[in-house]
């Protein structure tokens, strides 16, 4: 485990070049997030917790992941677009990019050449270095959109995929009006950094540590603390075994807050065709 944690293999064959623009962007956000102690306020902390949940659980986990990537349930188109917009505000890429990359990950899990964030390259590659050494097959729109043609056909998703960064401007202005620089630091920079690492832990830590309920073909594992910071996404062995299920926590102790939100939408009559039972019986390890 230690060797795999420390390993870093940028590329098999032709190494990609480091993208300094990406490095500078993420470094700037991390640096500004470090200003948080000097701008602390209880309302700002509450805002951080709320936006981490809203953008993380509703935007990324429920929206980008379970709704758009795996189609584990359906909602009215207006609500789908609203949830996808919340996902775009999480600053983890546009919907076509995110969904296309995630579908590649499931189609070629841990393949060092075909999985965008293959855990076989080591912890740091799957956690964040895959973004600093971008490969065209994962970052070129003309390539990754082929893995999400259902989204690429829709003008709104094409617009959101291109201009998602611009959404941070009205958000930051709104936060400044509501609470000054304290809200901007906590609601934009610290929130982004914490949510990035929370999501990245699913790609890295959940392929290294944890337990395996099912005897799947890949190294995905169930890791409780990753599930806590990602609202249920850390039950990764469960998810890779049944990727099209709307819930990831299958045992009573496997807390899955995102599933609670889906159930609420279902109760309100807004979520239809919810996949809540396994389509087949997997081998229990």
pLDDT tens by residue, 222-257 = 999 999 999 999 999 999 999 999 999 999 999 999
Query: How many alpha carbons fall within 13 Å on the CB side of residue 224?
Result: 6
In a domain, 23, yes or no: no
Q: Could you tell me which residues come within 8 angstroms of residue 254 by beta carbon, excluding any fewer than 6 positions away?
A: 222, 224, 227, 232, 235, 238, 248
In a domain, 281, yes or no: no
Cα-based distances in Å from 186 to 37, 230, 259: 10, 18, 27
For 8-39, what is each residue's pLDDT tens digit? Answer: 444 444 567 899 999 999 999 999 999 999 99
Judge whether 207 and 110 are in contact, CB under 8 Å. yes
Give the mean pLDDT of the chain. Answer: 92
Q: How far apart are the C-alpha atoms of 207 and 222, rounded to whole Å?
A: 9
Average pLDDT, integer, range 169-198? 98
**What is the extent of the structural domain holding 62?**
35-268
In a domain, 75, yes or no: yes
- DSSP code for 57: I
Residue 263 CB: number of other CB atoms within 10 A?
A: 16
Q: How far apart are the C-alpha atoms of 251 and 258, rounded to whole Å?
A: 15
- Give the pTM: 0.92
In a domain, 240, yes or no: yes
In a domain, 215, yes or no: yes
Q: How far apart are the C-alpha atoms of 121 and 243, rounded to whole Å?
A: 23
Lowest-confidence region among 104-113, 160-169, 263-272: 104-113
In a domain, 21, yes or no: no
Counted domains in the chain = 1
In a domain, 16, yes or no: no
In a domain, 207, yes or no: yes
Instruction: Please tell me the predicted confidence (pLDDT) of residue 242.
Output: 94
Judge whether 236 and 273 are in contact, CB under 8 Å. no
Q: Mapping DSSP to helix (H, G, I), strand (E, B) and coil, where does residue 272 land? A: strand
Joined tokens for residue 141: 């729109």
């Amino acid at each position: 485990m230690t060797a795999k944690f420390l390993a870093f293999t940028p590329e098999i064959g032709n190494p990609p070049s480091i993208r300094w623009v990406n490095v500078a962007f993420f470094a700037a956000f991390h640096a500004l997030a470090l200003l948080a102690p000097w701008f602390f306020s209880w309302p700002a902390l509450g805002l951080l917790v709320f936006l981490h949940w809203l953008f993380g659980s509703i935007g990324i986990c429920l929206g980008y992941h379970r709704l758009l990537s795996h189609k584990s349930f359906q909602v009215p188109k207006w609500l789908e677009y609203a949830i996808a917009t919340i996902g775009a505000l999480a600053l983890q890429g546009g919907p076509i990019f995110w969904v296309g990359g995630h579908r590649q990950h499931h189609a070629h899990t841990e393949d060092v050449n075909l999985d965008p964030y293959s855990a076989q390259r080591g912890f740091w590659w799957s956690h964040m270095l895959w973004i600093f050494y971008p490969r065209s097959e994962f970052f070129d729109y003309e390539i990754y959109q082929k893995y999400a043609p259902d989204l690429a056909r829709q003008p709104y998703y094409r617009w959101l995929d291109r201009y998602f960064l611009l959404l941070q401007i009205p958000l930051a202005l709104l936060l400044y009006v509501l609470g000054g620089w304290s809200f901007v630091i906590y609601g934009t920079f610290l929130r982004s950094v914490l949510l990035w690492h929370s999501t990245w832990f699913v790609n890295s830590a959940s392929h290294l540590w944890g337990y395996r309920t099912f005897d799947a073909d890949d190294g995905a594992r169930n890791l409780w603390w990753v599930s806590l910071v990602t609202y249920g996404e850390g039950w990764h062995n469960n998810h890779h075994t049944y990727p099209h299920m709307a819930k990831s926590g299958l045992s009573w102790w496997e807390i899955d807050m995102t599933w609670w939100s889906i159930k609420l939408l279902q109760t309100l009559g807004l979520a239809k065709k919810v996949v809540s039972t396994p389509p087949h019986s997997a081998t229990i390890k």
